[in-house]
């Protein structure tokens, strides 16, 4: 089960890291006064070959949840009809192999660095097309709902996957409670902006803060979860404490972490990865084995802890719950 810390095969590319390496290359090239022709060559080389992550030593254990006074989420209520019975990815892997660029761009960085995130006190601003814009303390918000466990597959756009027992409540329940106006066509989520807690935000690897969004009907689908924990425990910092989004039929980057703002809007939000590289990361980002990323195939994936690759499923295996949301849409165009 420790395979995940070995160098992935060169076919397994981390797009975000590649992107960073490109930027790093550009910075260096600029620093050394390289010509634009030289930049071009470097870019082509990097994007054609891919750069596997260097082998890493096993990272330290996940940062213990600090949070004096943070109550553990209530116990789970029982299995949900949406649960997969596939083997769950071990807790140690879910909490040490992460993407959370505010803590660094290596998979092991978030577990090592997330101790600076203080998930209490924490409040969430709710604004836009709601009857009553308000700021809610996160524990007050949690108290509105019964937490339930959902065992979901998670498929990263980088072509690896896990099975994670999340704890949380449906976003639909929050929307129902908020008196959202009929003008709301999309929901926009924003991550905390605080370089003291999220040190990567002092750098410029992404435009901060991280922003994601959903169409309102996607947000109201019963699969869409506001997540507060995993494996029955409060969410560790590296997984997006104290509150993150999980949309299991979409690529993992839609699952924005450490949310401080939820805004109901009329126009499609400007989301981080989509704005940065629209030809590589669509707004919808529905898992689709038939639509390849420009730099690699999406037909298969590596389940963390397994050797052989698996076939990727349309909508990550959740088609019967969500395919109707996209009836009549060209999924290759609206990827």
Ligand X SMILES: Nc1nc2c(c(=O)[nH]1)N[C@H]1C(S)=C(S)[C@@H](COP(=O)(O)O)O[C@H]1N2
Cα–Cα dist 126/134, whole Å: 5
Which C-beta is closer to ligand X: that of 39 or that of 91? 91
Tell me how far CA of residue 9 lies from CA of 4, 17, 227, in angstroms.
11, 15, 32
Task: Provide the 8-state DSSP code for 296.
Answer: B
The separation between CA 74 and the C-alpha centre of its own chain, rounded to angstroms, equals: 24
Which C-beta is closer to Mo ion: that of 126 or that of 246? 246
CB of 47 to Mo ion, least distance (A): 18
User: If DSSP codes are grouped into helix, strand and coil, which group holds residue 311?
Assistant: strand
What binding mask, one character per residue, do residues 146-185 give for ligand X by CB under 6 A, x or -? ----------x-----------------------------
Contact call for residue 101 and ligand X (CB under 6 A): yes
Contact partner, 187, from Mo ion, ligand X, none, Cβ < 5-8 Å per class: none
Contact call for residue 211 and ligand X (CB under 6 A): no
Contact call for residue 210 and ligand X (CB under 6 A): yes
Lookup: tokens for 295: 């730099």
CB of 113 to ligand X, least distance (A): 12
CB of 37 to ligand X, least distance (A): 32
Give me the sign of the Cα torsion angle 279, 185, 229, 88: negative
Q: Are 175 and 108 in contact (CB under 8 A)?
A: no
Contact call for residue 191 and ligand X (CB under 6 A): yes
Cα–Cα dist 124/324, whole Å: 31
Which C-beta is closer to Mo ion: that of 110 or that of 252? 252
Helices 36-49 and 15-31, axial angle in degrees (round to 10): 160
Contact call for residue 249 and ligand X (CB under 6 A): no
The separation between CA 312 and the C-alpha centre of its own chain, rounded to angstroms, equals: 18
Contact call for residue 189 and ligand X (CB under 6 A): no
Q: Which of 253, 264, 315, 335 binds Mo ion (CB under 5 A)?
A: 253
Contact call for residue 100 and ligand X (CB under 6 A): yes
- Residues at the interface with ligand X (CB under 6 A): 98-102, 156, 191, 210, 239-240, 252-253, 255-257
């Amino acid at each position: 089960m420790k395979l995940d810390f070995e160098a992935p095969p060169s076919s397994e590319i981390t797009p975000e890291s590649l992107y960073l390496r490109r930027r790093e290359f550009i910075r260096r090239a600029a620093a050394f006064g390289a010509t634009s022709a030289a930049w071009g060559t470097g870019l082509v080389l990097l994007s054609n070959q891919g750069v596997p992550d260097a082998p890493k030593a096993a990272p330290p254990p996940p940062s213990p949840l600090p949070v004096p006074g943070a109550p553990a989420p209530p116990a789970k209520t029982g299995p949900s009809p949406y649960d997969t019975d596939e083997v769950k990815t071990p807790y140690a892997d879910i909490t040490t192999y992460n993407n959370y660029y505010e803590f660094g761009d290596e998979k092991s960085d978030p577990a090592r660095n997330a101790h600076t995130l203080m998930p209490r006190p924490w409040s969430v601003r709710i604004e836009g097309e709601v009857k009553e814009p308000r700021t809610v303390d996160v524990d007050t918000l949690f108290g509105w709902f019964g937490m339930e466990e959902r065992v979901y597959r998670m498929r990263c756009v980088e072509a690896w996957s896990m099975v994670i027992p999340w704890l949380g409540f449906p976003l639909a329940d929050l929307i129902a409670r908020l008196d959202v106006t009929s003008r709301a066509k999309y929901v926009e989520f924003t991550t905390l902006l605080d370089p003291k807690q999220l040190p990567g935000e002092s750098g410029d690897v992404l435009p901060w803060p991280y922003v994601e969004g959903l169409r309102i009907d996607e947000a109201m689908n019963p699969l869409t979860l506001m997540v507060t924990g995993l494996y029955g425990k409060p969410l560790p910092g590296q997984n997006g404490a104290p509150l993150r989004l999980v949309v299991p039929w979409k690529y993992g980057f839609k699952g924005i972490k450490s949310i401080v703002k939820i805004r109901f809007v009329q126009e499609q939000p400007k989301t981080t990865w989509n704005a940065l590289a629209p030809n590589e990361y669509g707004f919808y980002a529905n898992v689709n084995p038939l639509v390849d990323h420009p730099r690699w195939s999406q037909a298969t994936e590596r389940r963390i802890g397994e050797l052989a690759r698996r076939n990727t499923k349309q909508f990550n295996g959740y088609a019967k719950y969500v395919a109707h949301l996209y009836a009549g849409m060209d999924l290759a165009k609206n990827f």
